[in-house]
Structure 1
Amino acid sequence: MPKLSVVIPCYYNEANIPVTVEELVANEASFPAGVEFEYVFVNDGSGDDTLGALRRAQRAHPARLRIVDLAGNVGSYNAIVAGLAHASGDCLAVITADLQDPPALMAQMYAHWQQGFKLVIGNRQEREETGPAQALARLFHWLMKHLALRNIPAGGFDYALFDRQVATEVVQLHERNSNVFYLMVWLGFAYVSLPYTRRKRTIGQSRWTLTKKITLLIDSLVSFSFVPIRAISAVGLCLGLLALLYGVYVIALKLTHPNEPAGWTTLMVVLLFVSAFQMIALGVIGEYVWRGLDAARNRPLYVVKNVY
């Protein structure tokens, strides 16, 4: 039977680890007999006792758990790439350590992989979360679907099961400042999407801050879409047309009313508007240039401190 490696990035998940490990192990009963399991926990530079909790769980399940302890915090997506690089399964899955994504869905995902699908996505159709977090998540995935990758499922996802080939391709891409799950879709393999309701977090406090969410949105849009650059060109073309029309108007006004005083207010509005656009344009271009510089440095995505 095949081997399934489950990659779990961890950041300040000390309280989650005992519950998460036991639920994952209990979920093995949902799979066909004989499937071998490997759980690759990646400690992403946590400042609490996440590593200690993982070591204690490993002593309880020595044959199943592998721990990759990173030297510093590199972000969940780079931590996932580190886990993929250290996993040895024929197929792999990625799930969060806070149990907001249901492990029970993994058996259905595995069944679709057995049918030949290289990528199986757990698609968040509903969320138990409410308020600004839900609204921001919906906006993020709407923008990604309509401006970047039109073939991603609505609602977004960060729960997937995929073939070893997909994992190998993602690791070899060595992509920086990107979204590892959207990279899987970008590869072009046919996938199946399974809907589920994302749970509300009940243990610990999320470290997924508003700043990190905005950074992810910018990284994802810039990585998979040229829309921001093309939008600058489109707005610049429109401004140029307006400037031409306004120039014709000013010349006509001068010819018909030679003593008409200059319009200070109009001049300042146009000047401020164009200047603001130029600053925004420079900022968007800077985002692309910075990512090109970051890629040219070729620094490692992560540094592994220890592997247990």
Structure 2
Amino acid sequence: MPKLSVIIPCYYNEQNIPVTLQELISNEAQFPAEVTFEYVFVDDGSGDNTLQALRTAQQRYPDRIRVIQLAGNVGSYNAIVAGITYATGDCMSVITADMQDPPELMVQMYSHWKQGFKLVIGNRQDREETGFSKWFAQTFHWLMKKLALPNIPDGGFDFVFFDRQVADEVIKMHERNSNVFYLMVWLGFAYVNIPYVRRKREIGKSRWTVSKKIKLLIDSLLSFSFFPIRAISVVGLLLGLVALVYGLYIIGLKLLDAQGPPGWTTLMVVVLFVSAFQMIALGVIGEYVWRSMDAARKRPLYVVQEVYATKPASDI
């Protein structure tokens, strides 16, 4: 009897929990009777009553729900790793608590897993959202596909179904400042992708701020691509060639005309341009260095404050 663990990271999702739980429970009827279920809700340091809502749900379904309370907010990807660590299923799925991803898609994902695929990806063919959020998501995943991981599906994804082996490998890597979904693709297992349209959020307000989106973009690019460092090398080489040509030009003018042009404006433009490039280069290198230092400290990705489950601690 295969066991499916559904991992749901939660952050200020107090109003979503009852609706999310009901949809997940109702979706069980679509699966073969052989499948058993476990729902691992991870409270990522929410400041509202999310934990209380999760505890109520856990008391309602004590045989299926496990609640992981983290001591503080560590970000959804670290919360997902915590959920994977505490999940006990033969296969797992990650889905958001706001139900923008259709849980019924998990039935198709499960059938592909039964066929032997270690990883099944639900990739966003389109989004019902509009404006900046949609544009940023499309640009983000286009950059990742072009500069870092060309084998990822178009449209981006954060709805996945994967085997226990994939989960164990992700946990062993203990990757910091990275993207857990891209790590699953990076492992190299053959995968199937199922396109779908991401629904618009109906309940609550997203806490996925612009600053968090930009940090995720930087983290993902630096974790999976050497393009920023290579770009610095190429631009530095080009600037060196320009400086060499310009230097020969100045020397030629000096030999032909002792007076020569004053050249103050040109000199200042060159100095400012090169200085700006040096500051950008130092910033990019600093990002890499900081991530190396952060990994060297070996601080935990998360701290678990409490685990609410009906099983004894020896089973966790």
The residue type paired with residue 238 of structure 2 is C
Supply the distance in 2 between the matched residues of 1:223 and 1:114 (Cα, whole angstroms). Answer: 31
The residue type paired with residue 262 of structure 1 is P
1:168-197 Cα shifts (integer Å, max 9, x gaps): 000110000000000000000000000000
1:66 aligned partner:
66
Residue 210 (1) aligns with residue 217 (2): no
1:14 aligned partner:
14
CA apart distance, 1:227: 0.4
The residue correspondences of 1:178-193 to structure 2 (distance < 5 A) are 178-193=178-193
1:55 aligned partner:
55
Cα RMSD for the two superposed structures: 0.6
Supply the distance in 1 between the matched residues of 2:249 and 2:198 (Cα, whole angstroms). Answer: 57
1:136 aligned partner:
136
Supply the distance in 1 between the matched residues of 2:117 and 2:111 (Cα, whole angstroms). Answer: 9
The residue correspondences of 1:38-117 to structure 2 (distance < 5 A) are 38-117=38-117
Supply the distance in 1 between the matched residues of 2:223 and 2:188 (Cα, whole angstroms). Answer: 16
2:32 aligned partner:
32
Post-superposition, which runs of at least 4 consecutive aligned residues in structure 1 deviate over 2 A? none
CA apart distance, 1:257: 2.1
CA apart distance, 1:271: 0.1
2:273 aligned partner:
273
**TM superposition score normalised by structure 2:** 0.97
Supply the distance in 1 between the matched residues of 2:104 and 2:92 (Cα, whole angstroms). Answer: 15
Which blocks of at least 5 consecutive residues in structure 1 are unaligned? none
1:248 aligned partner:
248
Supply the distance in 1 between the matched residues of 2:42 and 2:132 (Cα, whole angstroms). Answer: 29
The residue type paired with residue 167 of structure 1 is A
CA apart distance, 1:248: 1.1
1:96-132 Cα shifts (integer Å, max 9, x gaps): 0000000010000000000000000000010000011
Residue-pair matches, total: 308
The answer to which of 28-37 and 205-214 deviates more is 28-37
Supply the distance in 1 between the matched residues of 2:198 and 2:273 (Cα, whole angstroms). Answer: 43
**TM superposition score normalised by structure 1:** 0.99
Supply the distance in 2 between the matched residues of 1:33 and 1:297 (Cα, whole angstroms). Answer: 47
2:125 aligned partner:
125
1:29-73 Cα shifts (integer Å, max 9, x gaps): 111112000000000000000000001111211111000000000
1:193-216 Cα shifts (integer Å, max 9, x gaps): 000000000000000000000000
CA apart distance, 1:262: 2.4
The residue correspondences of 1:142-291 to structure 2 (distance < 5 A) are 142-291=142-291
2:314 aligned partner:
none
1:23 aligned partner:
23
1:120-166 Cα shifts (integer Å, max 9, x gaps): 00000100000111111111000100001111011110000000000
Supply the distance in 2 between the matched residues of 1:204 and 1:128 (Cα, whole angstroms). Answer: 16
Supply the distance in 1 between the matched residues of 2:162 and 2:20 (Cα, whole angstroms). Answer: 21
Supply the distance in 1 between the matched residues of 2:164 and 2:291 (Cα, whole angstroms). Answer: 28
Supply the distance in 2 between the matched residues of 1:259 and 1:61 (Cα, whole angstroms). Answer: 89
Which blocks of at least 5 consecutive residues in structure 2 are unaligned? 309-316
Supply the distance in 2 between the matched residues of 1:139 and 1:255 (Cα, whole angstroms). Answer: 51
Secondary structure of the 1:63 match is coil
**How much identity, in percent, do the aligned residues show?**
74
Supply the distance in 1 between the matched residues of 2:25 and 2:295 (Cα, whole angstroms). Answer: 39
